[in-house]
Amino acid sequence: MGAVGCLAALFALFFAVLGALPLLGWVNWITTLPLALLAIVFSALSLSPDRRSPLAVFGLVAGILTLCWAVFRLAVGGGVL
């Protein structure tokens, strides 16, 4: 599950960079936000106190940062741009 969360976070990060271009803010709504949320959920589910997978930790941190960036980007663009 940690690898799935990491992969979802990487895809979300790719689409967040793509959504940072002018007039492509809708990409954040369609792909970045759902993928970042999935990355957070999958990574958080795979973390356990007895073993911490580096992929799960990366997926969790990258998902949270990508989600924050996408929300910030949508707030600056008025939710559309």
Is residue 47 a part of any domain in this protein?
yes
> Is 25 within 8 Å of 74 (Cβ atoms)?
yes
Residues 76-81: what's their mean pLDDT?
76
Q: How far is CA 7 from CA 12, 21, 56, in A?
A: 9, 22, 10
Q: What is the pLDDT of residue 81?
A: 64
Give residue 42's domain range. 2-76
Residues 56-79: what's their mean pLDDT?
91
Is residue 8 a part of any domain in this protein?
yes
Q: How far is CA 78 from CA 18, 70, 74, in A?
A: 17, 12, 6
Is residue 81 a part of any domain in this protein?
no
Q: What is the pLDDT of residue 69?
A: 94
Express each pLDDT in 5-41 by its tens digit: 999 999 999 999 998 888 888 888 999 999 999 999 9
Percent of the chain with pLDDT over 90: 58
Give the number of domains in the chain: 1
Is residue 19 a part of any domain in this protein?
yes
